[in-house]
Amino acid sequence: MSLEIDIGRVRKVLIEGSGWHRVAYDPTTKVSTFNIDAYEFVTTVGESKTQLTKLPVGADRIVSAHGASWWEGAEPHHGRQMFCPLTSVLAVECW
């Protein structure tokens, strides 16, 4: 048995040290902007927006290989885009 969390329904994220963060969702599709993916640090260079990877996934055991991201606020792509290691997420609230 597992505890299934539908990431499309996440509306708040509890982050260690900073409290609850409101997750924006698309009102048309009613899908949350919360996402989980590989966690990499990159640098964007020039107009072509070429990305140079500074720390690839799993390159250093100190850095978590997975992270979470979301747009904070009432609407997607407005406000702040947040990123954190998945290990920083203490809880999520879904609707």
Whose tokens are 């290990």? That residue is 87
> Is pLDDT above 90 for 92?
yes
pTM of the predicted model, to two decimals? 0.76
Whose tokens are 């009432």? That residue is 74
For residue 11, give Cα distances in angstroms to 7, 32, 52: 9, 7, 32
Domain holding 21, by residue range, is 7-94
**Structural domain contains residue 2:** no
Helix locations, the chain, DSSP H:
none
> Is pLDDT above 70 for 12?
yes
**Quick one: pLDDT at residue 27?**
80
**Quick one: pLDDT at residue 49?**
59
Say how many domains are in the chain: 1
Angle, CA of 77, 81 and 82, to the nearest 5°: 150
**Structural domain contains residue 1:** no
Rounded to an integer, the average pLDDT of 56-68 is 67
Rounded to an integer, the average pLDDT of 46-60 is 60
**Quick one: pLDDT at residue 61?**
61
CB 13 within 8 A of CB 21: yes
Higher pLDDT, 48 or 5: 5
Rounded to an integer, the average pLDDT of 28-45 is 82
